Chain A
Amino acid sequence: MMNRLRAGLAAALCLIVPLVAGQGTASAQGETSAVIGMTLEPPHLDPTAGAAAAIDEVVYANVFEGLTRIDAAGAVQPALARSWEISEDGTTYTFALRRGVTFHDGADFDAQDVIFTYERAMAEGSVNAQKQLFSAIESMSAPDDHTLVIELTQPQGLFLWNMGWGDAVIVDPATAETNKTNPIGTGPFAFDGWTQGDNVRLKRNDAYWGDAPALERATFKFIPDAAAQVAALLAGDIDAFPNMGAPETVGQFQADPRFDVYVGTTEGETILSINHRRAPWSDVRVRRAIQHAIDRQALIDLAMFGFGTPIGSHFAPHHPAYIDLTGTAPYDPAKAAELMEAAGVETPLRAVMKLPPPTYARRGGEIIAAQLKAVGIELELVPVEWGQWLAEVFKAPHDFDFTIVSHTEPLDIGIYAREDYYFGYENPSFVAHMAELEVEADPVRRAELLVEAQEMIADDQVNGFLFQLAKVGVKKAGLEGLWLNAPVQANDLTAVRWE
């Protein structure tokens, strides 16, 4: 609320105070440093020991690299593994590792580092937030320093993709325990300092094995307040803000020739999660009524200032296997009321919706509440912080009726197969479907399975499928090479340059 008020005030003030064009934003030719703004500061800088997106947003592809990496288009590319061969049965991966690679502290990279890294992540006391990425690994061996053989317990269609995650980057055994405060990786940038609460600094790694990045220095500056983000851009203190805190603030930048606004996609499916453990939400007719009651476009326009793409299932529209299911239950309040009556529920129904801090939830919640009220569901809106959301909504006993949350993990439709997941959807045939997908490596068959999966959860109206979260960035004109989309949460600076 306060943030919104402040952002609004800032926008209003911008109109009052006339701007002097061209001031403070001299994007000098030949400049070799960039300051990138981020909303949240990472708690620490070890991507193998924490789930915070801010960690990857600083270090992924910049400081740390994995065997593979995920590129701006979301495709798997070779990184520390030059190439690989997959056995006929899909369970043996032979990686040819890159030669002449060193860590930032000078240590040589070889196959033993990979084995160490993965064993550490899989170990009993591991605190890797994505431990399941490694669950298919049965054994690893290194015939020589630059060859690695990984045996899987069963074929895993996404194995190469999984090894490209931030949680699977390769660390040096000697520095693994100190990466939180002094990250040592193999990437094109080395860690150069952290002023806690203000910024993290990186410098170019001159010993990098690949193409040298254009930037010599990069600074990530942490600015939580939406109004302060706008001011920092206007004052020229930062060069780019890849993920603006409040969508309503970007209008002024669109009209300003000194700045570019770039709008891309994220992996965040924003959904109205419904607690299936509670009646009457366990009734598919009631859930279908809810779907019909939601006007997605109005929600996007009002809550997100038009940024976002409607979705009809739990799947990202930019994925090749996406199908448009927004027509499964289109906005139709009369139909919704009819369905409610057919389900035999007595209106008005009262329910609790818990809303975590992001704008999409807090503002989206108010609009959803108004839309559901029209079909006889009266929501009590309860704002919660993330800690509370995790404790009350995500963890048992799941004390909520509805919540709005953006699921930002890439390709995460598998959560609908999880046992006792927070929204409590249980469908054995969907679980079996996902198990089949898990071991399927053939891309054509995978796409078919994914399409069917989308249809299954859309037909079951598991949750209210709202919109794909957009990535709204602002940068100075002349700064090129930043990712438009966010297939993984990262600010890959390898291609960033001034033009």
Chain B
Amino acid sequence: MLAYAAHRLLQFVGTLVAASLIVFLALEVLPGDAAQILLGTEANAETLKALREQLGLDRPAVARYGGWIGGLLTGDLGTSHIYGVPIADMLAERIALSAPLALLAFALSTVLALPLGVFAATRRGSAGDWAVIGFAQIGLAVPNFWFGILLILVFAVQWGLFSSGGFPGWEAGIGPAIKALILPAVALALSEAAILARVARSAMLETLGEDYIRTARAKGLSERRVLFGHALRNAMIPVATIMGLQFAFLVMGAVIVENVFYLPGLGRLLLQSIFQRDLVVVRDLVLLLSGFVILVNLLVDLAYAAIDPRPRTAAAGGDAR
């Protein structure tokens, strides 16, 4: 197990290094330059040169890559070219919005989807089942930005219960901050819940058809214990896999909803930084996110290995059987 963990850890580091190289090179070939964007069309060549020197854009690519990685190793993410503030501070501010938003949406979608999925599976073919399937179809078909606009028009414009967007910051207090995240979280949760409900339904249907369920029923277990003690637990494996994917998406993929609700989240920062050619921010962000995804994968793999011995022997070069 230890050898396997060490092996996977090495892979993790290798993947990160590869990701950093790809990010860096991809941004190198992107047309556009932060100095020109900052100074606009009226700046003269001399001013542009001065700013490029100030930003370090005139150094050769190898030196800039080395400087970046060196900085990362010492915990220095660098300074934004456009905003002129430390990137670590910017990221911390954005994560303070994106992470709670993702968690809230994730919780909402789980709370909504799992009972619906189980309910539909146990009443297969009933009107209730069709209603859940219908909900899932609609939830998938409705684009989340449109749903977001609808929520704003009803709850902010019509009823005035929420503000139409923006984020007061955590310094305004937990109540107002959470309140600002509720509508966007609902907008995000709808399509995630739709997917999850469908997956939960089919996973439940599959396990309910297994022999051990029949055995459990034959043993005379109550239907409740059969459902929750046996079927749901086993059905959770594919459901949990999907949930993991969804969480990663929610952290980053909220950019369109962030735009509708004008929330300063990670997704919007990434988009903005690309448009403004604030490449030092872009590469930190991309590396952070790929690191996050790779780390989640690593943890999942390690957890699997702890439960099931096959992958670790295979990776160590042994026979899987």
Contacts and interface: CB of A to CB of B under 8 A. Distances in A.
Interface string B264-280: 11001100101111000
Interface string A156-191: 000000000000000000000000110000000000
B261 interface: yes
B57 to A, nearest CB: 13
A107 interface: no
Given A124-B50, A130-B42, A181-B85, A14 B32 contact: no
Contacts of A43: 38, 82-84, 276
Contacts of A129: 38-40, 42-43, 47
Interface string A113-147: 00000000000111111111000000000000000
Given A234-B164, A387-B277, A228 B261 contact: yes
B128 to A, nearest CB: 29
A237 interface: yes
Contact of A181 (B33, B84, B153, B276): B84
Contacts of A52: 38, 40
Contacts of A14: 153
Interface stretch (A60-68, A81-89, A219-227, A429-437): A219-227
Contact of B166 (A180, A199, A388, A409): A199
B101 to A, nearest CB: 13
A222 B261 CA distance: 11
B296 to A, nearest CB: 26
Interface in B15-43: 30-33, 36-43
B149 interface: yes
Given A128-B47, A227-B149, A386 B37 contact: yes
A4 B129 CA distance: 38
A386 B149 contact: no
B51 interface: yes
Interface in B134-181: 145-146, 149-150, 152-154, 156-158, 160, 163-169
A374 interface: no
Interface string A399-429: 0000000000100000000000000000000
A196 B156 contact: no
A50 interface: yes
B153 A132 contact: no
A50 B47 CA distance: 11
Given A9-B149, A198-B166, A386-B275, A19 B158 contact: yes
B68 interface: no
A349 interface: no
A394 interface: yes
Interface residues of A, number: 57
Given A44-B84, A129-B42, A131-B43, A6 B36 contact: no
B170 to A, nearest CB: 10
Contact of A51 (B38, B167, B265, B276): B38
Interface in B40-96: 40-44, 46-47, 50-51, 53-54, 82-85, 90, 93-94
B262 A6 contact: no
A127 B51 contact: yes
Nearest to B151: A231
A231 B157 contact: yes
A392 B94 CA distance: 32
Contacts of B53: 125
B259 interface: yes
A420 to B, nearest CB: 11
Contacts of B93: 196-197
Nearest to A50: B38
Interface string B177-218: 000000000000000000000000000000000000000000
Contacts of B259: 224-225, 228
Nearest to B31: A391
B107 interface: no
A124 B44 CA distance: 12
A391 B277 CA distance: 11
A127 B157 contact: no
A232 interface: yes
B133 interface: no
Interface string A207-224: 000000000000001111
B151 to A, nearest CB: 10
A197 B164 contact: no
A56 B272 CA distance: 19
18 contacts: A24-B160, A52-B40, A124-B50, A125-B50, A126-B47, A129-B40, A129-B42, A129-B43, A130-B42, A132-B44, A196-B90, A198-B167, A198-B168, A231-B153, A234-B156, A237-B156, A387-B277, A391-B32
Given A20-B158, A24-B157, 11 more contacts: A13-B149, A127-B51, A181-B85, A197-B167, A222-B262, A231-B149, A237-B165, A387-B30, A390-B37, A391-B33, A409-B42
Interface of A: 2, 6, 9-10, 13-14, 17, 19-20, 23-24, 41, 43-44, 49-52, 124-132, 180-181, 195-199, 221-225, 227-228, 231-232, 234-237, 385-388, 390-392, 394-395, 409
Q: 9 closest A-B pairs (Cβ-Cβ)? A: A197-B264, A51-B40, A387-B32, A235-B164, A391-B31, A235-B156, A43-B82, A231-B164, A234-B157
